[in-house]
């Protein structure tokens, strides 16, 4: 069935839609509940929210169900839904120090103010398939939860705060940290909103951060990895990564006072690396560490870490120089134009669209070139033939003269 | 993750039992009997014997050509690449049941990654563990050469994140391989020269490049510069494994290892004689910065401690008159 013929096309599209539904349901297993996706596919939900650029766990779970678990498709659905929502207001700047932490680590110093907090991490778990999960039942689940809660009760530390000061603040106090403005970054009051204004280059740092915060975890990871491997390298060290609940406030529309409207779970990362001497006098007088910032909705460690590396690499590149041979990761325009999964997958997938008209044009260009080449070859061959005939004739003449 | 109750081991299902051993008993203290069981469930040293043989062959080649990067087919381990898989593969390929193992990370026996790697090695080999550098036959380390000098009968296995010292000036492996072959080290000398001119110092804090036996330029892994002089004419075999980068290299005992330096700008370590460890008082060890919390809600403060924790403890015990042997073993 052709998919361009005016009538057959409609039918084909509708049938294809039915087929999608059939492929999703043909196993005849119990329909997955949104609630189950939300709680048991926690990280998939977080990723869809982060790249869909919309903090809505229920909707992200729904999107995942609809997309049969495809991360990019799910964030695409959320991104599209987002366009139906008016932007009512901007939140007040949220301060990471106010996070209610579940995880917090630093690799700059072993003991940091407030201490390290491993929290829920797979980092130290042997990566072996757990076949016991195939026989998991509500019974085993309840038993685990009961045991766990008992442990928590017996470990209860009363009055201990779950908010901590930031490692980079103590680095700042020790005069180790360069402020963003002094390393040649744009100094603007209002953050740039890339969802309301088109970005142009060079982009302000706030635009860069916003694009990366919406960016595809995999793309950010690949580019950050290329930087670590020496293409635009900045030798970063993880100042602090924190995961937890961040209170969000808005200014009350009437009174103007700040009102807390809830908390969102986020991952935040601050990467430090040496600001390289560049001929910028201010820096040369006092060498410091520069800061790269990473952020993700939900629990998204790879993404936050990658983003902070790229932010740092781009800052370093803008201020003059990065270590090693420069590469894509240090090129702001290259990074920002290619890390959005919705944009990238959309345009890549457009090659599945009919290109009958343009391809026909390609063919005629090719045919003309072919004709041209044939004519040229024929002319050449004829010239060659004439030359050979002349040589043969000359040779004959010469023998006659002898 | 929901941790299900361990099932009764099913005799027909070796895999289930295997997985249960590894996953189902997270919080159980390792005991010698269990170590025995594990040996029968796993191949000794996790990876298969053929793979271990390949690693050993490549290690021999690395020893024969000091400082030269030898490619090897790195295997996937149940640990993230970049967290010590190169060191693990070396350790797995050389370890014997009668070895005594020490695993450190940043000089610390108790660091989370050291705990993680040690757990895996112990579960799959059953070898005993020590924290005492002088007692260990194999020390696997990340970032530090232990403070106490090591001997001819010991091996130091280093985990390597970046294998090629030319990475800073040439990220393309194809080109840097040629540069090594032709001993074309001019770009790194220029890099060093520029860093001295621009920052008044070699702007390389760790991974300081060294020439081994006057032939190959070698990456010292993120050891601080402080550890670089201990590579020169060392009694111990140093094995370097980079799992993610798929390279093995080595410094055989009694090899010449010279850090890059200029006549008028000699190599210097970060050692400051006036700094001392606030725990044991050492002035001749590598120190890292720590934050000390104040108990009574007052302001905390920053202090310097030895990064080699077992040496530090030993030093404290020696000062308090007790015998150092008491620190050893676990």
Contacts of A353 (CB under 8 A, 6+ apart): none
Which of A229, A231, A285, A289 is best to mutate for the B interface (most B CBs within 10 A)? A229
- DSSP states along B265-324: B----S--TT---TTT--SSS-EEEEEE--TTS---EEEEEES-HHHHHHHHHHHTT--G
Partner residue opposite A110 with nearest CB, options B115, B120, B288: B288
Q: What is the pLDDT of residue B14?
A: 55
Q: What are the phi and psi torsion angles at A63 (to 5°)?
A: -60, -40
Sign of the torsion formed by the C-alpha atoms of A205, A206, A209 and A210:
negative
Which tokens sit at A119?
């929290």
Residues of A whose CB is below 8 A from B30 = none
Distance from CA of A161 to the nearest CA of B (A): 12
Residues of B in contact with A122 (CB under 8 A): 1
pLDDT in tens, A157-173: 655 566 778 888 888 88
Scanning B269-298 for CB atoms below 8 A from A yields: 288-293
Tokens at A283, concatenated: 């820096």
Which of B2, B10, B246 has the most A C-beta neighbours within 10 Å, making it the best mutation to test the interface with A? Answer: B2
Q: How far is CA B250 from the centre of its chain?
A: 13
> For residues B238 and B257, is the Cβ–Cβ distance under 8 A?
no
DSSP A10-74: HHHHHHHHHHHHHHHHTT-PPPPPHHHHHHHSHHHHHHHHHHHT---HHHHHHHHHHTTT-HHHH
User: What is the per-residue pLDDT for A184?
Assistant: 43
A143 and B2: CB-CB below 8 Å?
no
- What's the CA angle centered on A16, arms A13 and A18, to 5 degrees? 115
**Cβ separation of A131 and B203 shorter than 8 Å?**
no
A:B CB pairs within 8 Å: 108
From the list B162, B137, B329, the residue with the least C-alpha distance to B245 is B162
Tokens of A112: 């940091």
Mention every residue, 6+ apart, whose C-beta is less than 8 A from residue A127.
B78, B79, B80
ipTM of the complex, rounded to two decimals:
0.72
B232 close to A (CB below 8 A): no
Residues in chain A: 402
pLDDT digits (tens, 9 = 90+) for B278-313: 999 999 999 998 888 877 767 788 899 999 999 999
The closest of B132, B122, B113, B67 to B91, measured between CA atoms, is: B122
Measure in Å the smallest separation between the Cα of A41 and chain B Cα atoms: 11
Q: Which residues pair with B217 in a beta bridge?
A: B211
**Using CB atoms, which residue from A111, A170, A229 is nearest to B171?**
A229
Q: For residue B303, with 0-12 CB atoms within 10 Å meaning exposed, 13-18 middle and 19 or more buried, which class applies?
A: middle
Rounded Cα–Cα distance for residues B206 and A8 (Å): 67
Given a contact cutoff of 8 angstroms between Cβ atoms, the answer to whether B247 and B266 are in contact is no
Task: Judge: B291–A230 Cβ closer than 8 Å, yes or no.
Answer: no
Residue A378's pLDDT band, with cuts at 50, 70 and 90, is very high
Rounded Cα distance between B287 and B269, Å, is 12
* Per-residue model confidence as pLDDT tens digits over B179-197: 999 999 999 999 999 888 8
**B80 Cα to chain A: minimum distance (Å):** 8
d(CA A100, CA A264): 10
Residues of chain B found within 8 Å of residue A278, distances taken between Cβ atoms:
198
CB within 8 Å: A327 and B7: no
State yes or no: is B223 an active-site residue: no
CA distance A96 to A104: 12
What is the rounded CA–CA span in Å between residue B249 and residue B163? 8
Query: Which chain B positions have a beta carbon within 8 Å of A277's beta carbon?
Result: 198-199, 203
Q: What is the mean pLDDT of residues B23-31?
A: 46
State the Cα–Cα distance between residues A52 and A29, nearest whole angstrom: 28
Q: What is residue B33's predicted lDDT score, i.e. its pLDDT?
A: 53
| CA pair distance A275, B157, nearest whole angstrom | 32
Q: How confident is the model at residue B168 (pLDDT cuts 50, 70, 90)?
A: confident
Q: Do B19 and A129 touch (CB under 8 A)?
A: yes
Neighbours of A99 (CB within 10 A): 23
Q: A interface toward B at CB cutoff 8 Å?
A: 109-115, 118, 122-133, 135-136, 140-141, 143-145, 170, 174, 229-231, 233, 274, 276-278, 284, 287, 323-325, 327
Per-residue pLDDT of B208-264, as tens digits, reads 999 999 999 999 988 999 999 999 999 999 999 999 999 999 999 999 999 999 999
> B50: exposed, middle or buried (C-beta count within 10 Å: 0-12, 13-18, 19+)?
exposed
CB B319 within 8 A of CB B160: no
Structure tokens at B89: 């593969």
CB contact under 8 A, A230 and B19: no
Q: What is the mean pLDDT of chain A?
A: 87
Among B199, B198, B245, B200, which residue's Cα sits nearest to residue B221?
A: B245
Note the pTM of the prediction, 2 decimals: 0.81
Q: Are B147 and B202 in contact (CB under 8 A)?
A: no
What distance in Å separates residue B253's CA from the closest CA in chain A? Answer: 30
Q: Determine the Cα–Cα distance for residues B307 and B319; give it in Å rounded to an integer.
A: 18
Radius of gyration of chain B (CA): 21
Of A111, A133, A274, the CB nearest to B290: A111
Q: Which residues pair with B139 in a beta bridge?
A: B102, B156
A228-287 pLDDT, tens digit per residue, is 998 887 788 999 999 999 999 999 989 999 999 999 999 999 999 877 655 555 545 567
Alpha carbons B329 and A316: distance in angstroms, whole number: 47
| Catalytic option among B86, B126, B306, B329 | B306
Distance from CA of A112 to the nearest CA of B (A): 5
Top-confidence range, B58-72, B118-132, B270-284 = B58-72
Contact A130 B79 (CB under 8 A): no
Any bridge partners for residue B241, and if so which? Answer: B159, B248
Q: Is A117 helix (H, G, I), strand (E, B) or coil?
A: strand
For chain A, say whether B171 makes contact (Cβ under 8 Å): yes
Pairing of strands B237-242, B155-159: parallel
Place of tokens 């400082």: B67
Instruction: Provide the 10 A C-beta neighbour count for residue A39.
Output: 12
Percent of chain B with pLDDT over 90: 62
For residue A182, what are the contacts with CB-CB under 8 A and spacing of at least 6?
A282, A283
Per-residue pLDDT at B109: 92
Nearest CA in chain A to B105: A110
CA A170 to CA A174: how far, in whole Å? Answer: 6
Cis preceding-peptide flag for A202 (omega within 30 of 0): yes
């Amino acid at each position: 069935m052709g998919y361009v013929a005016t009538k057959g096309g409609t039918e084909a599209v509708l049938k294809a839609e039915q087929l999608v539904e059939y492929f999703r349901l043909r196993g005849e297993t119990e329909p997955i509940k949104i609630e189950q996706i939300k709680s048991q596919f926690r990280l998939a939900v977080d990723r869809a929210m982060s790249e869909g650029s919309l903090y809505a766990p229920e909707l992200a779970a729904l999107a995942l169900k609809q997309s049969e678990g495809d991360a990019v498709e799910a964030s695409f659905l959320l991104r599209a839904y987002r366009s139906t929502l008016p932007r009512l207001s901007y939140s007040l700047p949220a301060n990471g120090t106010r996070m209610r932490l579940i995880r917090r680590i630093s690799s700059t110093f072993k003991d940091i103010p407030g201490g390290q907090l491993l929290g829920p991490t797979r980092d130290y778990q042997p990566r072996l398939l757990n076949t016991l999960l195939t026989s998991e039942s509500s019974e085993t689940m309840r038993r685990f939860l009961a045991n766990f809660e008992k442990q928590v009760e017996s470990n209860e530390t009363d009055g201990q705060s779950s908010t901590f000061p930031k490692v980079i603040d103590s680095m700042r106090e020790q005069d180790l940290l360069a402020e963003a403005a002094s390393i040649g970054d744009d100094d603007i009051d209002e953050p740039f909103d890339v969802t309301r204004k088109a970005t142009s280059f060079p982009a302000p740092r706030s635009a860069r951060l916003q694009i990366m915060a919406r960016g595809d975890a995999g793309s950010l990871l690949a580019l950050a990895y290329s930087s670590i491997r020496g293409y635009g390298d900045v030798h970063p060290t993880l100042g602090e990564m924190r995961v937890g609940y961040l209170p969000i406030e808005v200014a009350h529309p009437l009174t103007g006072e700040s009102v807390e409207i809830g908390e969102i779970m986020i991952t935040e990362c601050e990467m430090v690396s040496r600001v390289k001497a560049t001929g910028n006098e201010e820096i040369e007088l006092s060498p410091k560490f520069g800061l790269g910032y990473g952020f993700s909705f939900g629990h998204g460690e790879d993404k936050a870490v990658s983003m902070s590396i790229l932010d740092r690499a781009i800052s370093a590149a803008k201020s003059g120089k990065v270590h090693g041979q420069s590469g894509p990761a240090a090129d702001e325009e290259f990074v920002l134009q290619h890390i959005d999964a919705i944009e990238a997958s959309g345009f890549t997938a457009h090659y599945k669209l009919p290109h009958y008209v343009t391809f026909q044009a390609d063919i005629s260009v090719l045919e003309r070139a072919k004709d041209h080449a044939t004519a040229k070859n024929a002319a050449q061959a004829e010239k060659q033939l004439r030359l050979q005939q002349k040589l043969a004739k000359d040779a004959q003449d010469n023998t006659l003269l002898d | 993750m929901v941790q299900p109750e361990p099932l009764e081991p099913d005799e027909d299902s070796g895999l289930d039992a295997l997985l249960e051993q590894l996953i189902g008993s997270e919080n159980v203290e390792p005991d010698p009997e269990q170590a025995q069981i594990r040996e029968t469930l796993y191949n000794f040293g996790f990876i298969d014997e053929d793979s271990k043989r390949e690693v050993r062959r490549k290690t021999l080649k690395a020893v024969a050509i000091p400082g030269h990067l030898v490619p090897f087919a790195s295997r996937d381990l149940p640990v993230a690449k970049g967290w010590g898989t190169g060191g693990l593969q070396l350790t797995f390929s050389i370890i014997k049941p009668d070895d005594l193992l020490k695993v450190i990370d940043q000089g610390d026996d108790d660091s989370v990654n050291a705990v993680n790697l040690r757990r895996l090695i112990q579960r799959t080999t059953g070898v005993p563990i020590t924290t005492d550098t002088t007692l260990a036959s194999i020390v696997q380390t990340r970032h530090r050469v232990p403070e106490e000098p090591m001997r001819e009968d010991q091996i130091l296995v280093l985990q390597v994140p970046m294998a090629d010292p030319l990475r800073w000036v040439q990220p393309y492996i194809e080109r840097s391989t040629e540069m090594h072959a032709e001993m074309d080290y001019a770009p790194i000398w220029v890099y060093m020269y520029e860093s001295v001119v621009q920052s008044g110092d070699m702007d390389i804090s760790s991974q300081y490049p060294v020439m081994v036996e006057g032939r190959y330029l070698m990456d010292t892994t993120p050891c601080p510069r402080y550890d670089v002089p201990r590579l020169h004419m060392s009694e111990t075999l140093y094995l370097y494994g980079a799992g993610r980068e798929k390279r093995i290299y080595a410094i055989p005992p009694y090899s010449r290892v010279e850090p890059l330096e200029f006549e008028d700008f000699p190599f210097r370590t970060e050692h400051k004689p006036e700094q001392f460890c606030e725990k044991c008082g050492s002035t001749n060890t590598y120190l890292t910065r720590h934050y000390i919390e104040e108990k009574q809600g007052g302001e905390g403060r920053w202090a310097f401690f030895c990064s080699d924790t077992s040496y530090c403890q030993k030093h404290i015990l020696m000062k308090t008159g007790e015998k150092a042997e008491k620190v050893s073993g676990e």
